[in-house]
């Protein structure tokens, strides 16, 4: 029976099925060919440009309607998490490497002496740490401000003191073994590629280690870090240079942006570092009158300086520094990059020295490894994790 208004269904013929199948195959072949073509092109590009970073390589990870989706397209969405994960990966590897090196050094030292590793530790470490005296325990007790009676906590304090001494002796012994074995660490922490302005560099322009500082002239922590940075530069001489970049925190410091602009105006007249030093040493003179007074102190061309400042000649340059810092995940000041290794906040000299010493040791070890590789015809392996700032 036929229902009015509806056509009677016609049987599907074998010819129609064949036609539909052919069209489906052709469409699949076409879209697949496009994706395959893009994938092949990416593969050829990677082979022709092996120097490109893995992050920059055009590596297909999906296909949508025949169009390839590439791995580097994920980076803007994942970069912060990737950087954090790579930092954690480095810390895990670094701790494991320290343990492995220590074990190998102890085993080698024990072998040279013809004893077991446990016996070596007993001879070189444990036997050299006597039990703490009662006077030492009492002094330690008073320093802890312990509320319980001394006799009640004396055994615990005795053990804590002895463990602290054991660690000191062990560290000193391991440091000696490391020096004797010329241990060099090639494992590199994650790095961020950050550029700098050659006109705002203090120190040897060809120094192997570059400290890039993002700073704010009105920031008290930046002023506090100034002496630390000077101490570090004095200690390492021609091996380290400092590059300055602006990161004024406008929401917190009303005069910081104008002070940054003024430093560029002074740089235009060849007096950046002199003006930089005056700004940091005179936190109460960052208003318009103070900025002009600093220019007069340095005998800058006053008319040129005022014109530069009033026309906001270097506003875009300061904003470019801010963007560069934000792209490198800077969120406060001071922030430092030591050959790309990120340090945040006001840090003591020891933290800078550790990072610089590690970088110098890696550079030296890699140079030696390259020489060895050339001599043996082999390939010296190194490990460097690079995280590029977001665009």
pLDDT at 280 over 50: yes
Same domain assignment for residues 200 and 304: yes
Q: Give the model confidence (pLDDT) of 196-229 as tens digits.
A: 999 999 999 999 999 999 999 999 999 999 999 9
Same domain assignment for residues 177 and 209: no
pLDDT at 390 over 50: no
The whole-number average pLDDT for the span 130-144 is 87
Same domain assignment for residues 43 and 147: no
Residue 358 tokens, joined: 């590690």
CATH number of the domain where residue 362 is located: 3.40.30.10
Same domain assignment for residues 219 and 317: yes
Residue 60 tokens, joined: 């297909």
**Which of 76, 91, 112 is the last residue in one of the domains?**
112
**Which of 65, 80, 112 is the last residue in one of the domains?**
112
Spatial distance between the Cα atoms of 168 and 145, rounded to a whole number of angstroms: 24
Instruction: Name the residue with tokens 């890039």.
Output: 212
Q: Give the model confidence (pLDDT) of 328-339 as tens digits.
A: 989 999 999 999
Q: Do the Cβ atoms of 129 and 165 come closer than 8 Å?
A: yes
In a domain, 3, yes or no: no
Same domain assignment for residues 156 and 228: no
In a domain, 5, yes or no: no
In a domain, 293, yes or no: yes
In a domain, 250, yes or no: yes
Same domain assignment for residues 231 and 315: yes
**Which of 137, 161, 183 is the last residue in one of the domains?**
183
The whole-number average pLDDT for the span 59-80 is 88
- Percent of the chain scoring above 70 in pLDDT: 80
Q: What's the whole-number average pLDDT of the chain?
A: 84
Q: What residues make up the domain containing 324?
A: 191-376
Residue 175 tokens, joined: 């440091």
Please tell me the predicted confidence (pLDDT) of residue 239.
Answer: 97
Please tell me the predicted confidence (pLDDT) of residue 370.
Answer: 64
Spatial distance between the Cα atoms of 193 and 212, rounded to a whole number of angstroms: 11
In a domain, 261, yes or no: yes
Residue 194 tokens, joined: 């950050």
Spatial distance between the Cα atoms of 303 and 311, rounded to a whole number of angstroms: 12
Q: Give the DSSP letter string of 118-140.
A: HHHHHHHTGGG-PPPPHHHHHHH
pLDDT at 156 over 80: yes
In a domain, 361, yes or no: yes
Closest CA to 274 of 303, 315, 306, 244: 244
Same domain assignment for residues 235 and 278: yes
In a domain, 381, yes or no: no
**Bridge partner list, 341:** 338
**Residue 179's Cα: distance from chain center in Å?**
27
pLDDT at 293 over 70: yes
**Residue 353's Cα: distance from chain center in Å?**
15
70 CB neighbour count, 10 Å cutoff? 16
Please give the residue that has the higher pLDDT: either 305 or 24.
305
Residue 41 tokens, joined: 């092109």
Please tell me the predicted confidence (pLDDT) of residue 273.
Answer: 97
Q: Would the pTM count as exceeding 0.75?
A: no
- Phi and psi based region of residue 256 (left: phi greater than 0; alpha: psi -120 to 50; beta: remaining): alpha
Please tell me the predicted confidence (pLDDT) of residue 7.
Answer: 40
Same domain assignment for residues 303 and 198: yes
**Bridge partner list, 387:** 192
Same domain assignment for residues 33 and 133: no
Query: Which of 28-32, 59-63, 364-368 is modeled with the greatest confidence?
Result: 59-63
**Least confident residue range of 12-21, 249-258, 293-302:** 12-21
Same domain assignment for residues 94 and 55: yes
In a domain, 119, yes or no: no
Residue 150 tokens, joined: 């001394």
pLDDT at 109 over 70: yes
Same domain assignment for residues 217 and 259: yes
Please give the residue that has the higher pLDDT: either 136 or 378.
136
Same domain assignment for residues 197 and 318: yes
Spatial distance between the Cα atoms of 39 and 62, rounded to a whole number of angstroms: 10
The total domain count for the chain is 3
DSSP state of 345: S
Is it true that the peptide bond before 342 is cis, omega within 30 degrees of 0?
no
Give how far Cα 224 sits from Cα of 162, 281, 347, Å. Answer: 37, 10, 9
């Amino acid at each position: 029976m036929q229902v009015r208004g509806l056509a009677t269904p016609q049987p599907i013929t074998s010819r129609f099925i064949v036609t539909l199948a052919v069209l489906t195959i052709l469409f699949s072949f076409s879209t697949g060919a496009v994706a395959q073509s893009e994938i092949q092109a990416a593969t050829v590009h990677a082979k022709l440009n092996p120097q490109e970073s893995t992050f920059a390589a055009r590596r297909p990870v999906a296909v949508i309607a025949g169009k390839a989706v590439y791995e580097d397209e994920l980076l803007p969405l994942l970069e912060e998490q990737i950087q954090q994960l790579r930092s954690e990966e480095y810390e895990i590897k670094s701790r494991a490497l320290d343990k492995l090196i220590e074990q190998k050094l102890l085993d080698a030292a024990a072998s040279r002496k013809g004893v077991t590793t446990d016996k070596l530790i007993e001879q070189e470490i444990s036997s050299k740490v006597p039990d703490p005296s009662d006077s030492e325990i009492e002094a330690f007790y008073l320093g802890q401000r312990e509320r319980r009676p001394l006799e009640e906590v004396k055994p615990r304090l005795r053990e804590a003191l002895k463990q602290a001494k054991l660690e000191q002796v062990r560290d000193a012994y391991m440091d000696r073994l490391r020096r004797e074995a010329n241990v060099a660490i090639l494992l590199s922490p994650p790095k961020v590629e950050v550029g700098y302005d050659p006109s705002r560099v203090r120190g040897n322009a060809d120094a192997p280690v570059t400290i890039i500082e993002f700073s704010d002239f009105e920031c008290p922590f930046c002023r506090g870090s100034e002496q630390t940075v000077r101490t570090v530069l004095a200690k390492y001489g021609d091996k380290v240079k400092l590059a300055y970049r602006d990161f004024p925190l406008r929401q917190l410091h009303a005069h910081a942006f104008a002070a940054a602009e003024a430093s560029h105006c002074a740089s235009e007249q060849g007096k950046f570092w002199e003006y930089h030093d005056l700004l940091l040493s005179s936190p109460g003179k960052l208003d318009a009158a103070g900025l002009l007074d600093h220019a007069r102190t340095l005998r800058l061309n006053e008319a040129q300086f005022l014109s530069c400042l009033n026309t906001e000649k270097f506003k875009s340059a300061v904003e470019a520094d801010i963007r560069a810092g934000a792209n490198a995940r800077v969120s406060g000041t001071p922030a430092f990059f030591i050959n790309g290794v990120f340090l945040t906040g006001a840090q003591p000299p020891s933290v800078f020295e550790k990072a610089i010493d590690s970088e110098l040791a890696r550079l030296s070890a890699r140079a030696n490894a390259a020489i060895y590789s050339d001599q043996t015809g082999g390939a010296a392996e190194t490990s460097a994790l690079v995280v590029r700032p977001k665009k």
